[in-house]
Amino acid sequence: MRIGMVSPYAFDIPGGVQFHVRDLAERLLSQGHDVRVLAPADEDIDLPSYVDSAGRAVPVPYNGSVARLLFGPVTAARVARWIDRGEFDVLHVHEPFSPSVSMLAMMAADGAVVGTFHSSTMRSRALLTIMPVLGPQLEKLSGRIAVSPEALRTIHRHEGTADAVIIPNGVYVDRFASAPLAPHWQGTAQRPTIAFLGRLEEPRKGLAVLLEAMPALLHAMPGLRLLVAGPGDPRDLMRHTPATVQAATEFLGMVSEPDKASLLRSVDAYVAPNTGSESFGIILVEAMSAGVPVVASDLPSFADVLGGTAGALFRTADAESLAQAVLGVVRDPRLRTALSSSGAIRAREFDWDRVSADVMDVYETCRAARPYAVRTISAGRAKRALRGRS
């Protein structure tokens, strides 16, 4: 099958949607499908051979974060040319709600078009304002995928009764399960290690809550080490942090995918202190895949991923509750073993073998309903008119 995928976010900037698009594309390519990806990206960076740049994105505040998006008439023309040139059996647009190339592709295309909705938002005034215009475009989607029940609820908040099949984000589970242990990140009984991964300067990732909990954690476990990985400058966060917390915290910066897997395999617990606007939580699945116990805020999306027994939850944005939950896990070897075992079993439900098969089922259903190459609306109408004259 010839498949076109569109990412709304800059492909040269790390992010959950970008990783999902990348991994799905590579999984389908490994199965013999012909896949092209269109995404914003700087022209002078090295992109995977299957990725086409739609142009340089600009930073825009979006859904509690800063996303790099691309919009406008020049971009729309570029997207249309890419669609017509691709002659795809299926066009898969990610985050059709976001004002970027995915929305432009959905608006331009005629044929088997699948939309995946990743985000979790409360009712957005901006979206509600444009829904009279955007709604008819969304109705053109042949199939809809939500990555979680929370993402499905976001669709319902803005589209009413519109439905979607839930297919979660995928993870290459074995890559994390077989990652080598890293002695410099491993903990001991006297010096246990906990980890956080995320953008340091993004409040909703919750690092500030974890740092607020650190004095209580260090009082109970003076040798505790906090390993923090992710982009951003930690100086503002650490400016008013006690010296004891600063000494116990190690900032690793950006880590490679293999190093991320080794980090998760090596620590005693992974802490997800996120405070909101999370529709899934791919890092939780990666941590479960690596066999590390997960301690997470009780966001509905995180509770869905953990499935009730695969992690410990604490009250969102509550530093005292976070500290108690981390202490309960790190101090109890039997609980750590139980959480690790449950997490490893739960993670298999998100393996790309299963997820990609479910996505392909959606593709085949949509292709059967619209068995012609995806074209832009103008090109598709012209082609059908020519067929009608012959």
**Domain shared by 184 and 118, yes or no:** no
**Domain shared by 71 and 18, yes or no:** yes
**Domain shared by 7 and 71, yes or no:** yes
**Domain shared by 111 and 215, yes or no:** no
Which residue type does 388 have?
G
**Domain shared by 67 and 149, yes or no:** yes
Max CA separation in the chain (angstroms): 82
Task: Output phi, psi for 337, to 5 deg.
Answer: -65, -40
Model pLDDT for residues 212-264, shown as the tens digit of each residue = 999 999 999 999 999 999 999 999 889 889 999 999 999 999 999 999 999 99
Number of domains in the chain: 2
**Domain shared by 55 and 154, yes or no:** yes
Spatial CA neighbour of 210 closest among 268, 256, 287, 198: 198
Instruction: Specify whether the CB–CB gap between 377 and 126 falls below 8 A.
Output: no
**Domain shared by 163 and 242, yes or no:** no
**Domain shared by 367 and 336, yes or no:** no
- Residue 291 sits in a domain whose CATH number is 3.40.50.2000
**Domain shared by 120 and 226, yes or no:** no
From its phi and psi, is residue 249 left (phi > 0), alpha (psi between -120 and 50) or beta? beta
The predicted structure's pLDDT at residue 256:
94
Helix (H, G, I), strand (E, B) or coil at 115: strand
Instruction: Specify whether the CB–CB gap between 225 and 193 falls below 8 A.
Output: yes
Which range among 60-64, 199-203, 378-382 shows the weakest confidence by mean pLDDT?
A: 378-382
Output b/e per residue, 174-199; b: 16+ Cβ within 10 A: ebbbebeeeeebebeeeebbbbbbbb
Spatial CA neighbour of 171 closest among 288, 31, 74, 324: 288
Residues with Cβ < 8 Å from 122, sequence gap 6 or more?
A: 157
Q: How confident is the model at residue 354 (pLDDT cuts 50, 70, 90)?
A: very high
189 is in which domain, residue-wise? 173-349
**Domain shared by 96 and 211, yes or no:** no
**Domain shared by 139 and 92, yes or no:** yes
> Which residue do the tokens 């020049």 mark?
74
Model pLDDT for residues 292-337, shown as the tens digit of each residue = 999 999 999 999 999 989 999 999 999 999 999 999 999 999 999 9
**Domain shared by 357 and 345, yes or no:** no
Instruction: Report the share of the chain in percent with pLDDT over 90.
Output: 71
Rounded Cα distance between 62 and 265, Å, is 32
Instruction: Specify whether the CB–CB gap between 231 and 253 falls below 8 A.
Output: yes
C-alpha 347 chain-centroid distance: 15
Neighbours of 348 (CB within 10 A): 16
Task: Output phi, psi for 93, to 5 deg.
Answer: -105, 130
Residues with Cβ < 8 Å from 230, sequence gap 6 or more?
A: 196, 197, 198, 199, 200, 205, 253, 254
